[in-house]
Chains A and B, each alone.
Chain A
Amino acid sequence: MVPARKIWRLFLRYVAIEMAAESEFRTDFFAGLLLSLSNAAMLTIFWDGLLRVAGPLPGWGMGELVLMSGLRTLAGVVGYVFFRMSQLPGKVLRGELDRYLTKPAPAFLCLQWEVLPLRSLIVESVSGAIVIAAAIFGWGFALDIRGVVPGLLLLILGSLIQTCFQTSVAALSFWMGRVDGLQAVLGEAEWFRRFPVTLFDRPVQVLLTWVWSFGLVMTYPVLLMRGELALVWPLLDGGAAMLVSWGLLLSWLLSAGLRRYESNGG
């Protein structure tokens, strides 16, 4: 078991390494920010047009929809900080785990942090903050301050569940080799990230909240921040239980997968 303090220190080391790499390749911070804000702006234009034509959505005004768009951007940051293991299959096939399996280090975390997208992380944080500020000050979202912390906690829980889900799929590569097809099929559900899950039928809502967890990441944090505080404990308890379940499944998959790892190449 790797001590938590060591994991934190290693994370900071990878941040330093990424900063060194950034100075090797001069990347354009402002172009990235512009891209992120453009995505949020296009979605906002879409909602604005839709609401003009179709009238108000039940419980969702422009303030809520723009806030949701900002939270979606922030959720990406959580995904970057914690391990997003979509690249695991390729690394398993190329035998790239060897480097860390012979080191007293958390192999899967190190493997992910090798490509820590520091610039994207900062860009998305700034962009998310701008969009959230626009929702509150531009579109008049009525923020209930008591819902902010539970809302952000739920966003983090939901992002971690998504990460566990994606990593579990990626971990199947220990058995199946290539899983890009499966990843692509399941990734199609990402399309739903743009919409409040409460707009859909009940079974779809359940699926998008407790399996893909888009609801936990974006829809319900908005409701909590709007002051619907009766939802706090059911959502946080349910989210925590889901995270533990996914975490246990992922942990089993990774440890069983390592026993099948064949270290191709070399």
Chain B
Amino acid sequence: MTVSLILFIAFTVVLVLLLAWAVRPLKKAPLTPDDVFEALSEERHYARLPQILQSLQFDDTAFIKDRGQGALLERLRQERKRIALHYLSYLEEEYRILQECSRILATLAPELATKGELARFRQNLRFIWNCRYLRWRLRFGLQPWDVFGTLSDMAGTITLQLEAATARLGERAMSTVNSASVPDERPGEA
């Protein structure tokens, strides 16, 4: 059995696995444009980041330790960790909505920038990876500040991209309306 044969078979197996994944039905139904509009009008969760970060700092609960309330301290830290995990879930959901929004815009857009789309794809992968990493860090009691900051920044970046994309779409739609509203003035028909 040659290396070439193994590579061809491995490549084919990878293709079959990707095919199976690609045709698998979606776990969550895609959001409709109305759902996205509604979700975007709600309060953003990542604005609460500073409070969450503050609550996870050891200094924030040091005074309880100083008073010798070990059990209470442990309970408090567990509670705060649980809240941080909840916050992470909300952040994920928020990012999903923004992603859906950008996908809906992509389906409406007359042309897409390949570089921009690839950058967003990479960003999505990074976000998923960071979320999983952060979850594990929280569960093992490690400090999660840097990663939380990165995730929050990513949500901000995708918002900026969306804003630029909607602005472009709006301009295009406006120029279409303007050109449609120009009276048909063909020579000889006036």
Pairing of A with B: no
B: residues with CB less than 8 A from A are: none
Chain A: residues with CB nearer than 8 A to chain B?
none
